[in-house]
Structure 1
Amino acid sequence: MPTIKSTYLENLRTSSQHLQSGREIITDAPVDNNGKGEAFSPTDLVASALGSCMVTIMGIVAQREGVELEGLTWEVTKVMASNPRKIKEIIIDFSWEKPSDDQKLLQKLKNAAKTCPVALSLSEEVAQTVNFDF
């Protein structure tokens, strides 16, 4: 059974609907690739998915350990290559206002992030630079 149904709208824009929830995502080609840059590009979604997946898996570990991740934020930087045009590197910078003092727990969270399904699914040609400010 499909997970997502997508439609080409016009002018390098697509709409994708998550069938279980009915939620929709619009993508737009970036300005440097003939688009308007008015929404996430498909490669932006890949980069965003990496950060979100890392935090989701960290959240599972945190729940199991009885810890809240409140205040955890992250920024994603996507670096593109040309010839061929593709994602060269994804940089994730994590910050946590009130991290745990438990160094073993912090290491578990870092390990969980680096072994999330998206991280393991990306080609080794896509550098994953992950910085933890905690």
Structure 2
Amino acid sequence: MATSKIIYNGDLRTTSVHLKSGKEIITDAPTDNQGKGEAFSPTDLLATSLGNCMLTIIGIAAKSHGFNIDGTTAEITKVMAENPRRVGEIHVGLQFPANNYTDKEKAIIEKSAKTCPVAYSLHPDIKQEVTFSY
């Protein structure tokens, strides 16, 4: 079964529908590439997916090891490169809630983040910079 269906709405905007849930995501081209920048761009979603994946995989690991990461946030910075135009770097800043994580839990968190499926799926030329703030 297909995962999603995408409709081109015109004026550099698309609507993606997650077929199982019916949830929608709108994208716009960024202002530096002829768009309105009124929504995530496709490359914004690529970069944001890395943070989403990291939090999900850390959450699975935390659950299976008996600790909690509820309230953790990820701030994403996408850095574009040229010739050809592409994502050159993704910076992920993970901020954990006030909690006294053990050294073992921190090791689990950091390994989980760096081994998420999106991290492994990105081209090796895309620099992934991840910081952990506990």
TM range (shorter): over 0.9
Shift of 1:82: 1.1
In structure 1, the residue matched to 2:118 is: 118
Decide whether the 8 Å contact of 2:69 with 2:97 is kept in 1: no
Work out the percentage of aligned pairs sharing the same amino acid.
51
In structure 2, the residue matched to 1:25 is: 25
Within the alignment, does 1:50 sit opposite 2:50 as a pair?
yes
Shift of 1:12: 0.4
1:26-105 equivalent positions in 2, closer than 5 A:
26-105=26-105
Whole-angstrom distance in 1 between the partners of 2:79 and 2:25: 22
Q: TM-score by structure 1 length? A: 0.97
Decide whether the 8 Å contact of 1:71 with 1:98 is kept in 2: no
Q: TM-score by structure 2 length? A: 0.97
Q: Kindly provide the CA deviation profile for residues 57-93 of structure 1, in whole angstroms up to 9, marking residues without a partner as x.
A: 0000010011111231110000001111000000001
Whole-angstrom distance in 2 between the partners of 1:100 and 1:109: 13
Gaps of 5+ in 2: none
Gaps of 5+ in 1: none
Whole-angstrom distance in 2 between the partners of 1:100 and 1:90: 28
